A and B are shown apart, each in its own frame.
Chain A
């Protein structure tokens, strides 16, 4: 059985962390990943860029509506995810717009993945 573990943080709190505090968390993440990797549990995981870099893609009358900001409604629930490789945001939006849920009123939040090397 595969499980998805969703990490919710208070962005402003994280941004205010001191360098040593941040370093400690960083190291802890590294150790945690090493450990679950050794136990064969790790499949994939990445930190995301902050919500200020997010874009929400919706469909309306067959047209794609793109807006600034994260997905903020509470009516819908997280139902799945894709990680895709795209040259730029336009390509990522174009792929997001093709996800079938968009056609039936779903929303897709497009968030860049942070490139971090935890082995360092």
Chain B
């Protein structure tokens, strides 16, 4: 294994242990940076140590002690940390799996702002640099740095505990963790703007975190559901955009380019998350089940829309949001008649809860287009264009608008 590979795969695991041993985020981060620098200096000539992770933890610990000793007057905080390290034994320093859980639950603590939770999780468990996170979220690096500093200061000063929540609080706290992981995934998946490489890295990071949660919390079906959902969406990454970077709709995608191994893994996780000892399935498991039906359909026309509509019906009961209602309306249109689905979309529009959400007029326009009502479809495409932010989506809608306008003028 190469040093940069170790950095990428082991950074979070090592840092999680160091924070526990050293008792402070900043001290642990600095010490680990120094340990990696020492590895870069030594390993190429001396060869890889037998246990690189243990070597890095041991070296980081020494670096932390050295640094504290170099300071002539020990401030209170440093004295506390020094005492903490001196008391730690080799056994305590060994990385344990709960360390990474401690770290993610601390990073995703509800007393931190959501954007800080996301940034801190990527910085500590993902090992992303502040600049990389800033680029991925399209904010200046200084803003992101400030966000991270403030979050770490709050953890320290307000004493957010470095603990896995007790059983009675775990499910609730896990919800927040899963939301952060899914936010990271969506940030990478949804957009076709910005640096595409960085953005796909976000999807990979989210999937890696999802795997970690499934591994460390095997009894929690929603973690499996989320991992399944991410794997199934990500299996289509190669076919979602064409060579020119234009959006290719699901029904027009080249299904031979979908990642079969990832679909199989996702589908198996869906089964596991749906059959959770008689407990009703959660929102992630249901969304993953819907994604699995799409992923497993040999062609677009063979998609089992009846089952998808039924699953959206269940989802609307456990997790009722206007967006879920909109998706259900489309599934109903595809399974039991466009008019019926269109009536549901119109109903949603009248309720006004999705005002400003461009996918509502997009769905309406698509259904009207299928019904051959081109003039009305054109009007809805124009409505959607007034709301859309993403350039690739805008170009796609403009293309559709041109098509329906020429069709309606031909008649």
Q: 6 tightest A-B contacts by CB?
A: A66-B110, A55-B111, A88-B161, A68-B113, A88-B159, A53-B158
Q: Tell me if B96 is interfacial: C-beta within 8 Å of chain A.
A: no
B interface residues, Cβ below 8 angstroms from A: 109-113, 116, 150, 153-154, 157-161, 163, 165
Compute how far the CA of A54 lies from the CA of B111 in the bound complex, rounded to whole angstroms.
8
Residues A66 and B160 in contact, CB atoms below 8 Å apart: no
Q: What are the residues of chain B within 8 A of A52 when measuring CB–CB?
A: 150, 153-154
> Is B153's CB under 8 angstroms from A53's CB?
yes
User: Which residues of chain A have C-beta atoms less than 8 A from B110's C-beta?
Assistant: 66-67
**Pair B158/A49 contact, Cβ less than 8 Å:** yes
The answer for the CA separation of A93 and B161 in the assembled complex, in Å, is: 12
With contacts A52-B150, A52-B153, A53-B153 taken as known, whether A89 is within 8 angstroms of B158 at the C-beta atoms is yes
Instruction: Give the A-B pair count, Cβ closer than 8 A.
Output: 43
- CB contacts (< 8 Å) of B163 on chain A: these are 90
Chain A, interface size: which category? Answer: 10 to 19
Interface of B is mostly: loop
Could you say which of B150, B153, B161, B165 contacts A89, with CB atoms under 8 Å apart?
A: B161
- Interface readout for A37-52 with B: 1 if CB under 8 Å, 0 if not? 0000000000001001
Contacts from A to B (Cβ < 8 Å): 49, 52-55, 66-69, 87-90, 93, 110, 112
CB distance from B26 to the nearest CB of A (A): 16
* CB-based contact A112/B157 at 8 Å: yes
Q: What residue in chain A is nearest B112 (Cβ atoms)? A: A68
CA of A66 to CA of B169 in the docked complex: distance in angstroms?
13
Tell me whether B113 and A89 are in contact (CB under 8 A).
no
- Asked whether, in the complex, the Cβ of B159 is within 8 Å of the Cβ of A89, the reply is yes
Residues of A within 8 A of B112 (CB): 68
State whether A68 touches B160 (Cβ < 8 A).
no
Chain A residue contacts of B113, Cβ below 8 A? 67-69
A55 CA / B110 CA spacing, docked (Å): 9
Given A53-B154, A87-B159, A89-B111, 7 further pairs, Cβ under 8 A: A53-B153, A55-B158, A66-B110, A68-B154, A69-B113, A93-B111, A112-B158
Q: Smallest distance from the beta carbon of A31 to chain B beta carbons, Å?
A: 24
Residues of chain B lying within 8 A (CB to CB) of residue A55: 111, 158
The verdict on A49 contacting B116 (CB below 8 Å), with A55-B111, A89-B111 known, is no
List residues of chain B with CB within 8 A of the CB of A90: 160-161, 163, 165
Q: Which B residue's beta carbon lies closest to that of A115?
A: B76
Q: How far is the CA of A96 from the CA of B154 in the complex (A)?
A: 18
Q: Which residues of B contact A88 (CB under 8 A)?
A: 159-161
- The complex places the Cα of A69 from the Cα of B115 at a distance, in Å, of 13
CB distance from B253 to the nearest CB of A (A): 40
Docked Cα-Cα span, A80 to B165, in Å, equals: 30
Q: Report A47 CB to chain B, min CB distance, Å.
A: 13
A19 CB to closest chain B CB, in angstroms? 15
Expressed in whole angstroms, the minimum distance between the Cβ of B165 and any Cβ of chain A is 8
Can you list 16 residue pairs at the A/B interface with Cβ under 8 Å? A52-B153, A53-B158, A54-B158, A66-B111, A67-B110, A67-B111, A68-B111, A68-B112, A68-B113, A88-B159, A89-B109, A89-B160, A89-B161, A90-B160, A90-B161, A112-B159
